[in-house]
């Protein structure tokens, strides 16, 4: 458990707050879990994922551009030689 979910319900929030303040084991457990969960969103990890995604998109765009170029050449050849 990384934390408590709290809606805009003030009584629910106030019920959880003393428990978190008084229970040091619970705070330590939540803290450890939250740090582990946050590692999935580390800037180095997310940046690497974004760069890989952009590289894939660029590679696909280049392939499409080449394909269009070939298609245009074929159309021009057909038009010129007919």
CA dihedral 58, 61, 66, 72 (to 10 degrees): -150
The predicted-structure confidence for 2-17, as pLDDT tens digits, reads as follows 888 878 888 988 889 9
Average pLDDT over residues 11-30: 93
- Rounded to the nearest integer, the mean pLDDT of the chain is 88
pLDDT score of 74 more than 90? no
Query: What letter would DSSP give residue 39?
Result: G
Contacts of 16 (CB under 8 A, 6+ apart): 4, 6
- Confidence band for 82, pLDDT divided at 50, 70 and 90: low
Average pLDDT over residues 32-56: 93
């Amino acid at each position: 458990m990384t934390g408590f979910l709290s809606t805009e319900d003030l009584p629910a929030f106030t019920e959880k707050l003393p428990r978190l303040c008084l229970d040091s084991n619970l705070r330590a457990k939540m803290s450890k879990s939250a740090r582990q969960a946050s590692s999935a969103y580390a800037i180095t990890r997310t940046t690497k994922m974004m760069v890989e995604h952009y590289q894939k998109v660029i590679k696909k765009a280049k392939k499409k551009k080449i394909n269009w170029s070939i298609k245009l050449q074929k159309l021009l050849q057909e038009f010129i030689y007919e």
